[in-house]
Amino acid sequence: MKHLITIADLSADEVWQILNLARELKEEWRKGGNKPILKGKTLGMIFQKPSLRTRVSFEMGMIHLGGQALYLSPDEIKLGARESVPDVARVLSRYVDGIMARVFAHNDIQELAAYSRVPVINGLSDYSHPCQALADIFTIWEKRGKLKGVKLAYVGDGNNVATSLLFAATKVGMNIALASPAGYELDDDVVKLGQEFAARSGSEIELVRDPAAAVRGAEVIYTDVWTSMGQEEETEKRLKVFPPYQVNAALVAQARPEVMVMHCLPAHRGQEITDQVADGPNSVLFDQAENRLHAQKAILALLLGYD
């Protein structure tokens, strides 16, 4: 691994390297703290979008590993407006040991990586959210004890989170069903890549309209907001389309009794997920959020100098 841009770029072995190291680092942290393996290292963090989990988990991850993080707000950088993306990459990579960026356009992440001297981590783009999906499958592995053959049902918008979940699941042999309304499915090129990975790992992919069909036999139900940042002008339209895709008690009852419910947060409670489910016995939302910290520590360790 030189950068983390999308899970599609990773081999199955690299995915498992991240998961195994995340488990080791989490256990080490719980026993008293992590070794300062990134002492003297600094992560530059570029934000075009606001964040709770991404900022805090990366910043605390660097602190846990003995390094430090530098937050760069949207107004400070104005990526691609005040200064070109290649120039930001050229300059920033002479100051820091790694760059994490949370952006709108995926091309900005690709350009940062192309012109940076140091590793670049995609903290979120409109195409991909790899750190989230790696934390998600780490959580499933931790709770279920396996990934191969586990069925994950994703219900909702075919967005960047759904893309990364498809890639992650099919890299490690999970089965995945995706239920989205017409016009809001994953792009064909994303599905094609997922099918290629599934052919190697033995994963099964189902693309359906009916959420009930997707969750049948599922061990994990996953949802996300109906309207992502940058799509605000579509809010009213989406509020009319997506209500049948709400993850509620009736839908959860159609999956396995022990099904885990996941959401990458922030949640619009009462829209894509109900309070009853989000706070119910099947919910692992906050364990999942915690594991962003540990999965990202593994990514940081591997990219910024772990031996």
Among candidates 263, 290, 287, 286, which has minimal Cα distance to 61? 290
In this structure, the dihedral spanned by the alpha carbons of residues 95, 96, 101 and 107, taken in order and rounded to 10 degrees, is 60
Task: Determine whether 82 is an active site residue.
Answer: no
Torsion, Cα of 293, 51, 190, 195 (10° steps): 20
Q: Determine contact, residues 224/247, Cβ cutoff 8 Å.
A: no
242: which 2 tokens? 């997506």
256 is catalytic: no
Query: In angstroms, how far is the first alpha carbon of the chain from the final one?
Result: 13
> Cα(295)–Cα(233) distance, rounded to whole angstroms?
33
Closest CA to 20 of 306, 274, 233: 306
Beta-carbon count within 10 A of 11 CB: 11
Provide the 10 A C-beta neighbour count for residue 32: 6
276 is catalytic: no
264 labelled catalytic: yes
Identified catalytic residue from 53, 64, 292, 294: 292
48 is a catalytic site residue: no
For 65-125, the three-class secondary structure string (H helix, E strand, C coil) is CCCEEEEECHHHHCECCCECHHHHHHHHCCCCCEEEEECCCHHHHHHHHHHCCCCEEEEEC
Q: Which of 53, 110, 126, 264 is catalytic?
A: 264
Measure CA 151 to chain center.
18
Catalytic residue among 132, 246, 271, 296: 132
Give the three-class secondary structure for 265.
coil
Q: Which one of 108, 136, 157, 224 is the catalytic residue?
A: 224
What's the token pair of residue 270? Answer: 């009462």
Q: Which of 129, 238, 263, 294 is catalytic?
A: 129
Catalytic, 102? Answer yes
Give phi and psi for 275, each to the nearest 5: -60, -40
Given 3, 102, 238, 263, the catalytic residue? 102
| Residues belonging to the active site | 102, 129, 132, 224, 264, 292
